[in-house]
Structure 1
Amino acid sequence: MEFRTPVPIQPQEPKIAHSSKVLLIGSCFVENIGKKLEYFKFPNLLNPFGILFHPEAILNLLKRVKSNHVFTEADIFYHNEAWHSYEAHSDLNSVEKEVILEQLNAAVQETSQFLRSATHVIITPGTAWGYRLKESGEMVANCHKIPQQNFSKELTNAQNALIEAATIVNELNPEAQIIFTVSPVRHLKDGFMENQLSKAKLITAVQEIVAIKANCTYFPAYEIMMDELRDYRFYAEDMVHPNLTAVNYIWQKFQEAWIASEASAVMKEVDTIQKGLLHRPFNEASEAHQNFRRDLQQKIEKLEEKLPHIRF
């Protein structure tokens, strides 16, 4: 008997191989996929502006990349003894004005260069609820703990922002395959019904885009979490984020759909090396450990010689 309802996964093309380049932009769930790609040494660029939940925040990043925008002091603000940008996550915050500007401009340039040669772009919005700064009218990526009365909260038209985001990707790199996912992380602070409405808007928007754009596809991470893994044992302690078991399961499904079969052998080699690098011996000076380290170094050198872009 089958005690769950598996979400059908169709093999997709073009596959992601170790010769591919994957740009990932979006919510904290895209970080999970990006970290898997990083672990297995697939060339990737993950969230250059930090985690971005809202479609318009994703679009704003791509607009900056398209225009080669140079951030200046006019684009940042000082609050709680640190400099912030409404367009980026707090990971880029700095106590030094010059540092945050350098990070923002470096992120724009790195993304511009990477996107133009990327083979795949994964875009993962998390919510359709957005916060608009009353003073400027701009939709922000992060409120940075500014008082709530400075913002208006609204349920936005996700489709327009995501279509424009996909269009910019097409303009900068017509060959790139765009993979949309919707984050399975529930935004319960918005409210239970409000979260469902938000996810419905995102899913509807993405499906309509996939229907009209040839190079856009949808990976059902949200549906896998909701339908296959519909049990709280697959959630972290906050009962909102997928736990490691769920992340690994969804990654396995993503691998079935998108990762090239010839990459599997390399992934096994990388996994062996990664586990070896994490190994902590009882006695570092022992002959057995020295032999282990020599063997591990030989495996690293052999793999790096075969695939020069891989570095440990």
Structure 2
Amino acid sequence: MENKLFSHIHIPEFPITIDHKDQLYSIGSCFSENIGQILADQWFSIDVNLFGTLFNPISILNLFNRALEKKYFVTDEIQESGGLYFLWDCHGKITDTVKERVLSKANQALDQTHDFLQHGQYLFITFGTAFYFELKKDHQVVANCHKQPQSLFERKKITASEIVSKYEEFHQKLNAINPNLKTIYTVSPVRHARDGFIANNRSKAELLLAIEILEKQHSIFYFPSYEIQMDELRDYRFYSDDFMHPNPLAIKIIFDHFKDSLFTMETKDLFSKISKIKAQETHRHLFPESEDAKRAQIMLAEKKAQLKKEIFG
């Protein structure tokens, strides 16, 4: 009998591969930011959570639809509280002390998203929770409560069938304008303890079931980050101090699975080369003004330029 120390998650072979020439876009929970930042550090062309962290499927889709229609945010949509201006559709990343900057940041993010949906190759969507909040006064779904009184909101949960209905229509639009775009869904392994663990599990179940149905469509795939964390990395040593978020080691292990499953062999070889250059860039010379240090910096710059030329032409 094979001696196993942990459950290994089998990841089905993907019929797609990603390389540095592809344009990528990552949106969703904080886990999407973790993975997206690793890709950005490895010189991939990727937009990561342009509107800030988004947890529920409705808020993600609302922004996609706005981007597709180029429905820009206007002054009347801006809210103010304690000298800060914000938008209900966006995370605090867009918040500012100047109203005009809020519009500028949000609409620039819409433009970038629109351009990606028209021309990009790989879209990564990470669902965090099926729970969401909407304003009692007009039933607007909010991406973030922005520390406003809870009495303003009603907490609701979207079902798998509702997610499927809304996202099928979205993917039909995408296929019409950019048939080469592939979508890779994940469910965030971050546990939402404030919902309670029973409610959290049922919420994740809605998300997983919805993606299972969507996955049957052409150009839609699922990467099991949630399952890797829950089953392969079930020990608390793979969690941060709050016992809810994956720690850096867990994120690295999940990303290694991601890399092994989705990238070409040539691209995987480049990861180590880029990592070595980045390590050399962070190295601090004892005497940075010395001739040896200056010579090392010149050689490193040439090495970096040569590698970028090999990758991007």
| TM bin (shorter chain) | over 0.9
Instruction: Specify whether residues 116 and 132 from structure 1 end up closer, same or farther in structure 2 by C-alpha distance, changes over 3 A only.
Output: same
Report the equivalent of 1:300.
304
Read off the aligned partner of 2:281 and give its amino acid letter: L
User: Is the contact between residue 189 and residue 229 of structure 2 (CA under 8 Å) also seen in structure 1?
Assistant: yes
Q: 1:199 aligns with which of 172, 187, 204?
A: 204
Displacement of 1:291: 2.9
Q: Is the Cα contact below 8 Å between 1:166 and 1:178 reproduced in 2?
A: no
Q: Give, in whole Å, the separation in 2 of the partners of 1:30 and 1:229.
A: 18
* Contact 1:55-1:161 within 8 A present in 2 as well: no
1:31-76 Cα shifts (integer Å, max 9, x gaps): 1110111011111111111111000011001110111012111221
CA distance in 2, matches of 1:171, 1:241: 37
Paired amino acid for 2:146: H
- Which residue does the alignment assign to 2:224? 220
Deviation at 1:251, TM superposition (A): 0.3
2-structure distance, mates of 1:167, 1:52: 22
Q: 2:253 aligns with which of 249, 252, 262?
A: 249
Q: Cα offset for 1:238?
A: 1.2
Whether the 8 Å contact between 1:11 and 1:256 is mirrored in structure 2 is: no
CA contact (8 A) 2:259 2:268 kept: no
Superposition CA RMSD, Å: 1.4
Q: Which of the numbers 39, 51, 54 marks the counterpart of 1:52?
A: 54
SS in structure 1 at match of 2:20? coil
Aligned 1:1-312 pairs, distance under 5 A = 1-157=3-159, 158-211=163-216, 213-308=217-312
User: What per-residue deviation string (whole Å, max 9, x for no partner) do you get for residues 138-197 of structure 1?
Assistant: 111011011001000011123334334433432332211110100000011111111011
Q: Is the 8 A contact 1:185 1:242 kept in 2?
A: yes
Determine the C-alpha separation between the residues in 2 that align with 1:302 and 1:65.
37
Distance 1:159 1:198 in 2: 15
**Structure 2 Cα separation of the partners of residues 255 and 308 of structure 1:** 19
- Partners in 2 of 1:4 and 1:260 — Cα distance? 27
Change (3 A) 1:164 1:58: farther
TM-score by length of 1: 0.95
Give me the whole-angstrom Cα distance separating, in 1, the residues matched to 2:109 and 2:173: 17
Offset of 1:308 from its aligned partner?
4.2
CA contact (8 A) 1:25 1:46 kept: yes
Cα shift at 1:261: 1.0
Distance 1:179 1:251 in 2: 14
Residues 85-140 of structure 1: per-residue CA shift (max 9 Å, x gap): 01111011011111000111111111111221111111111000010111121111
Gaps of 5+ in 1: none
Q: Percent identity?
A: 34
Amino acid at match of 1:120: Y
Unaligned stretches of 5+ in structure 2?
none
Asked if the contact 2:79/2:87 (under 8 Å) is kept, the reply is yes
| Secondary structure, counterpart of 2:215 in structure 1 | helix
CA distance in 2, matches of 1:129, 1:108: 24
Aligned residue pair count = 308
Q: In the alignment, is the contact (CA less than 8 A) between 2:91 and 2:144 conserved in 1?
A: yes
CA distance in 1, matches of 2:282, 2:90: 32
**Does the C-alpha gap of structure 1 residues 217 and 44 become closer, same or farther in structure 2, counting only changes over 3 Å?**
same
Distance 1:56 1:237 in 2: 30
Tell me the distance in 2 between the aligned counterparts of 1:13 and 1:281. 45
Deviations 1:216-275 (Å, cap 9, x if unpaired)? 111000000000000000001111110010000000000111111111232222111111
